[in-house]
A = this chain, B = another copy of it.
């Protein structure tokens, strides 16, 4: 039996609030990143600007050196997004290890409707990674990452599209590789959790409905483009939609019934 790998706890990634919800487990953190359609990537634009920047980007965990590595192993984070020239230039010019960035992913799985506003919460999964970003310059690695990221948008899409990319497409594509330094995740599941003073107050419990509204992302029926010439929607698309809808809805529903630890949950 293998051991479970976890990210090291350092001051910048250690969860101090609701510690029982924290995870440093690579599998949990990598899975949240990989199942998120959009990642939020933060970097410091430099001394002339006081504000950190955030870009929405598409990305995926992977290992070019060990492509068969699974989510429970050390992986790099590959990013492709609406990459402003700013983050590209900063990563290209960064000395040493690369541009220090933070990658975040969050999803809401349910609304927790409690007796009091203070006990309201979400069921959610969130993860962050800290690491150093560099541009991928090796062409084989870039192609490999383009395939990894395209297939993260829709499983198996790469081989069902016009590949390989031509020279102009490869050179216009920018992929950032993030060497991960640390990471952490936070997961809240379960049901409503109110304080005793309210739960024993009949006036309150007789009029305030409590419960959970599950929330999930739905993928609708594919709409062919006016120029599409393939009559039947291919299996890799219908299967992806069916699988995702099933997984997403099931997770949100099952999270409600997750066994609660004894301590406070919100």
Chain A residues close to B by CB (< 8 Å): 11-12, 15-18, 37-38, 40, 42-45, 49-54, 56, 58, 82-86, 100-104, 106-108, 111, 113-118, 120, 122, 124, 126, 128, 130-131, 146-147, 150, 153-154, 157-158, 160-163, 165, 169, 172-173, 181, 186, 191-192, 194, 198-199, 201, 204-230, 233-234, 237, 241, 249, 252-253, 256
Contacts and interface: CB of A to CB of B under 8 A. Distances in A.
Question: Interface SS of chain A: helix, strand, loop or mixed?
Answer: mixed
Given A38-B124, A222-B212, A226-B191, A161 B217 contact: no
A201 B103 CA distance: 39
A209 B223 contact: no
Given A210-B225, A222-B211, A85 B217 contact: no
Given A213-B220, A225-B192, A52 B153 contact: no
A165 B116 contact: yes
A124 B56 contact: yes
Contacts of A227: 192, 194, 199, 205, 210
Given A42-B52, A42-B102, A165 B118 contact: yes
B162 A204 contact: yes
- What 10 pairs across the A-B complex have the smallest Cβ distances? A54-B104, A214-B220, A42-B42, A56-B106, A192-B225, A50-B100, A211-B224, A40-B40, A209-B230, A42-B52
A213 B146 CA distance: 21
5 contacts: A37-B108, A111-B154, A113-B157, A118-B173, A215-B220
Given A56-B106, A104-B56, A154-B113, A213 B208 contact: no
